[in-house]
Amino acid sequence: MQDKIVIVGAGVAGVNAATKLVDNGYPGDKITIIDMGKSPYERKPEEVMTGFLGAGGWSDGKLTYHTAIGGQLAKYCGEEKAMELMDQVIENFKRFHPKPEAVQCSDPQEEPEFIKPYFGLRLFPVWHVGTDYLHEIGKNWYQYLVDGGVEFIWETKVHAIDFVNQRVLAKYLTKENHELEERYDRLIFGVGKSGIDFGKALAEEYKLPTEPKSVQIGVRFEAPQKHFQKLIDVSYDFKLYRKYEDKGVSLRSFCTNNNAAYVATEVTYGDHTYNGHAKKDEAYRNNMTNFGILMEINGIEDPFKWSRDAVKKLQKDGVGTYFSPNHNRLPSKTSEGTYIQCNIVDSIQPLYDAIGDYALYIEEFIEDMKKVFPTLENDWGIYMPEVKYLSPEPLVDYTNLALTKYPNVHFVGDALSARGITVSGAQGIYVAEDLLKY
């Protein structure tokens, strides 16, 4: 008799886990996936975070291929295994791609001389799938799992999990007062960023031991692409970084988008923060570049609360903040053609008010970019804040990502320690491989 597996979250991690199981003959009718979003046939473009493939389904589709990027993976399974798991994720995206030959890898090799005096540059391979194709990939992938017998329960929000009696409790979002109860033998918890508060609440409720975390906060920087072209020619998704070892602070440019680059608003805990994505279709070309300037700050006592307080200070009338030293540069439009919602401010002071003198590091980063890219001058703007909430990461058994307190509950993806598609998917597969042993 096979274990009943319930997967909470049809995101990248959950879907890759289910795929590994079905690929290896695990009976689909023993797998149930519950998600508060919609199937790939019904999901709307503005539903950025929820539904089939989760935040990954509407993302830029950049599959990073290195263990130093995208959160923790090698920590659990070692370098070699981590790369092999990432290969499997990339293969899955190709396999359900309507044009697999369009998936291409950029693999920059050498740090250019003009960068060296000011920044380190992290170079690593990235596979590009393209946002536009993700919708089609989603449909093909979903169909494969449905044909394999997997049960999907859509538009249903899990609000409680009873780890002791192995029950998941959820509410149908479309039917008032309709409750769902699912029993499980094994649970895979992959709620991503949109479910981060839920993961945190469970950790508190069950007093799960956690790993120490850092603060990850900064801004989304936007400028015309022409200023960065000489670096983009070397590395599409460049990662500039620098470290202030003695201060416990490091900064990196994060998730660079070019050509058809759009800033995206993320809503977490009801607050607006910013991210970005790029379209592959030429029709969307706007010749802009955007990337996060993300700061990692170690040693802050309650990093989660600190980050949330900082984010709150940058909200006014329910939206975030925008600053450009050039009064003619205004917030851009989204790929749907509406202006990005934000309050325009005439100085960078609100950033100081929110994160104190840490803002100085961001200002310095921008000042040095102006030296490396001399045409940039004041032709840029920043959306504030960009944040990665590293919620308390529950302590797991490194061999199968199961909670040390509840060994039949596995945490995966952004709900654990991942920060990207490849690592999240790889964690899902890693857990599935363990389940297949039984």
Interface residues toward ligand FAD, by CB under 6 A: 8-14, 34-37, 48-51, 54-56, 59-62, 64, 70, 157-158, 190-195, 198, 264, 266, 275, 277, 413-415, 418-422, 424
Write out the two tokens for 201. 């609440």
Task: Supply the minimum distance, in Å, between the C-beta of residue 186 and ligand FAD.
Answer: 17
Q: How far apart are CA 89 and CA 15, in angstroms?
A: 10
Task: Supply the minimum distance, in Å, between the C-beta of residue 10 and ligand FAD.
Answer: 5
Burial (Cβ within 10 Å: 0-12, 13-18, ≥19) of residue 44: exposed
Q: Kindly report the CA angle at 84 between 81 and 89, in degrees rounded to 5?
A: 125
Q: Kindly report the CA angle at 241 between 238 and 245, in degrees rounded to 5?
A: 165
DSSP letter at 22 equals H
Question: What's the per-residue H, E or C state across 224-288?
Answer: EHHHHHHHHCCCCCCEEEEEEHHHCEEEEEEEEECCCEEEEEEEECCEEEEEEEECCCHHHCCCE
Output 195 or 350, the one with its CB closest to ligand FAD: 195
Output 350 or 394, the one with its CB closest to ligand FAD: 394
Q: How far apart are CA 120 and CA 98, in angstroms?
A: 37
Residue number with the smallest Cβ distance to ligand FAD: 11
Helices (H) and strands (E) in the chain, counts: 11, 25
Reply yes or no: is the peptide bond before residue 331 cis, omega within 30 of 0.
Answer: no
Task: Supply the minimum distance, in Å, between the C-beta of residue 198 and ligand FAD.
Answer: 5
The residues, any chain, with a CB within 8 Å of residue 401's CB and separated by 6 or more, are 76, 410, 411, 412, 416, 427, 430, 431
Write out the two tokens for 54. 């989760």
Name the 3-class secondary structure at 303. helix
**250 strand-pairing partners:** 243, 296
Task: Supply the minimum distance, in Å, between the C-beta of residue 12 and ligand FAD.
Answer: 4
Q: Virtual CA dihedral for 413, 416, 418, 424, nearest 10 degrees?
A: -20
Output 87 or 364, the one with its CB closest to ligand FAD: 87
Output 249 or 335, the one with its CB closest to ligand FAD: 335
**50 strand-pairing partners:** none
Write out the two tokens for 101. 């030959």
Task: Supply the minimum distance, in Å, between the C-beta of residue 398 and ligand FAD.
Answer: 18
DSSP letter at 18 equals H
Output 134 or 314, the one with its CB closest to ligand FAD: 134
Q: Report strand pairing: 215-224 vs 381-387.
A: antiparallel
Q: Which residue has the tokens 């009718």?
A: 29
Write out the two tokens for 77. 């399974």
Task: Supply the minimum distance, in Å, between the C-beta of residue 11 and ligand FAD.
Answer: 2
Output 320 or 413, the one with its CB closest to ligand FAD: 413
Task: Supply the minimum distance, in Å, between the C-beta of residue 1 and ligand FAD.
Answer: 27
Task: Supply the minimum distance, in Å, between the C-beta of residue 34 and ligand FAD.
Answer: 5
Task: Supply the minimum distance, in Å, between the C-beta of residue 339 and ligand FAD.
Answer: 17
Output 350 or 419, the one with its CB closest to ligand FAD: 419
Residue 115 backbone phi and psi in degrees, to 5: -85, -35
Output 31 or 34, the one with its CB closest to ligand FAD: 34
Contact 7, 34 (CB under 8 A): yes
Output 55 or 369, the one with its CB closest to ligand FAD: 55
Output 198 or 358, the one with its CB closest to ligand FAD: 198
Output 277 or 361, the one with its CB closest to ligand FAD: 277
Task: Supply the minimum distance, in Å, between the C-beta of residue 229 and ligand FAD.
Answer: 21
Q: How far apart are CA 235 and CA 246, in angstroms?
A: 30
Task: Supply the minimum distance, in Å, between the C-beta of residue 195 and ligand FAD.
Answer: 3
